[in-house]
């Protein structure tokens, strides 16, 4: 897969997710087969006002390159200024623009998916970025209620100079309920000349294969299904290459990954930036005895206690 002049070895991407895709988590997804990773979304206004916490979300290292940094905002001028600052600090391979987040925190200020109702502003934002940055620009959108309106937005983004487009097959109103409609991304892929990436309801090996085959997109992007489950990238990449389901012990794999994740948080001095118990619960989603596991995590007072109790549960599960 190629975006602008960037060669990406594979076509399975990690979606940008707030409070999830920090550097340690991205490194783990990369290790397990994510072809390209995106940072947590960063407020363009926060960058302009030199908010250190927001800017630090773009922290990276050579091991994870190539890297994409996603920004959001509602002003073409401010987003260009912020992107130029991000470019200067981190030199990411791609800067992605968030036109898809349905969270009230963003949409109430006219950011994220709220911008889908303002096609002219979307065009102005992308044009301002592509005219001023040396870094390739991509965008992520949600679909609108009607195919025609969605196609109009997709064409505007391409015409403004974007180098790729990711399409989540849900509307803003759906949030994360219902099913993603990949007929939209299939049609967009047929009409655009830039790479198009499908997102939404890609949760396992078979759904990844089905979406790729149906949409004929250049790649797939995995979001919520990867939360606490970076090994999902190994499973999917193995299935797409070999055609069979990878055999592994889920319980021991999750515990091993959680231990490694905590270690990376310590290594990069990011432990204070996350909710340890919430993250531990993400890493144990779907495991047997889920209620007991969550109760054990909630009552644990240290990371060692969390890991010890989970290891004990794994032994009993075996």
Are 201 and 178 contacting, i.e. CB atoms less than 8 angstroms apart?
A: no
Out of 96-100, 131-135, 183-187, 297-301, least confident range: 297-301
In whole angstroms, give the CA distance from residue 183 to residue 8. 25
Q: Which residues are catalytic?
A: 101
Query: Is pLDDT at 83 greater than 80 in this prediction?
Result: yes
pLDDT digits (tens, 9 = 90+) for 201-235: 999 999 999 999 999 999 999 999 999 999 999 99
Among left, alpha and beta (phi > 0; psi -120 to 50; other), residue 165 is: beta
Say if residue 94 is exposed, middle or buried (CB neighbours under 10 Å; 0-12, 13-18, 19+). buried
% of the chain exceeding 70 in pLDDT: 98
Query: Is pLDDT at 317 greater than 60 in this prediction?
Result: no
Q: Nearest Cα to 15, choosing from 197, 277, 188, 161?
A: 197
Token reading at 45: 């206004």
Q: How far is CA 67 from CA 7, 64, 71, 220, 282, in A?
A: 12, 7, 13, 16, 24
| 124: β partners | none
Range list of H helices, 136-249: 147-159, 183-191, 205-215, 232-242
pLDDT digits (tens, 9 = 90+) for 299-314: 888 888 888 878 777 7
Query: Is pLDDT at 153 greater than 90 in this prediction?
Result: yes
Q: Give the pLDDT confidence score for residue 281 in this predicted structure.
A: 87
Range list of H helices, the chain: 23-31, 44-48, 52-55, 76-90, 104-107, 119-132, 147-159, 183-191, 205-215, 232-242, 250-267, 276-283, 290-299, 303-317
- The domain covering 2-242 belongs, at the CATH homologous superfamily level, to Aldolase class I (3.20.20.70)
Q: Give the pLDDT confidence score for residue 143 in this predicted structure.
A: 95
Query: Is pLDDT at 318 greater than 70 in this prediction?
Result: no
| 137: β partners | 95
Token reading at 274: 């996350």
Between residues 135 and 251, the one the model is more confident about: 135
- Mean pLDDT for 67-84 is 97
pLDDT digits (tens, 9 = 90+) for 31-48: 999 999 999 999 999 999
């Amino acid at each position: 897969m190629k975006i602008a002049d960037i060669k990406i070895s594979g076509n399975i991407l990690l979606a940008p997710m707030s409070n999830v895709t920090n550097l340690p988590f991205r490194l783990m997804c990369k290790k397990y087969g994510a072809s390209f990773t995106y940072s947590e979304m960063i407020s363009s206004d926060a960058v302009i006002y030199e908010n250190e916490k927001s800017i630090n979300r773009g922290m990276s290292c050579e091991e994870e390159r190539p890297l994409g940094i996603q920004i959001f905002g509602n002003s073409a001028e401010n987003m260009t200024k912020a992107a130029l600052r991000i470019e200067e600090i981190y030199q990411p391979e791609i800067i992605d623009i968030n036109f898809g987040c349905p969270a009230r925190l963003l949409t109430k200020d006219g950011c994220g998916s709220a911008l889908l109702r303002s096609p002219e502003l979307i065009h102005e934002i992308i044009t301002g970025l592509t005219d001023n940055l040396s870094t390739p620009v991509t965008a992520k959108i949600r679909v609108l209620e009607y195919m025609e309106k969605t196609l109009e937005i997709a064409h505007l983004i391409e015409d403004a100079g974007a180098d790729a487009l990711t399409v989540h097959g849900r509307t803003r109103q759906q949030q994360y309920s219902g099913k993603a409609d990949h007929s939209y991304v299939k049609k967009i892929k047929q009409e655009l000349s830039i790479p198009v990436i499908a997102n939404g309801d890609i949760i396992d090996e078979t759904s990844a294969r089905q979406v790729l085959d149906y949409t004929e997109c250049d790649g797939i992007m995995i979001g919520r299904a990867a939360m606490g489950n970076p090994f999902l990238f190994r499973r999917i990449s193995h299935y797409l290459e070999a055609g069979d389901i990878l055999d592994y012990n889920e319980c021991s794999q999750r515990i091993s990954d959680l231990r490694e994740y905590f270690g990376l948080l310590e290594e990069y001095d990011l432990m204070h930036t996350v909710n340890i118990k919430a993250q531990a619960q993400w890493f144990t989603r779907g495991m047997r005895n889920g209620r007991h596991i969550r109760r054990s995590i909630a009552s644990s007072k240290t990371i060692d206690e969390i890991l010890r109790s989970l290891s004990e549960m794994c032994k009993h599960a075996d």
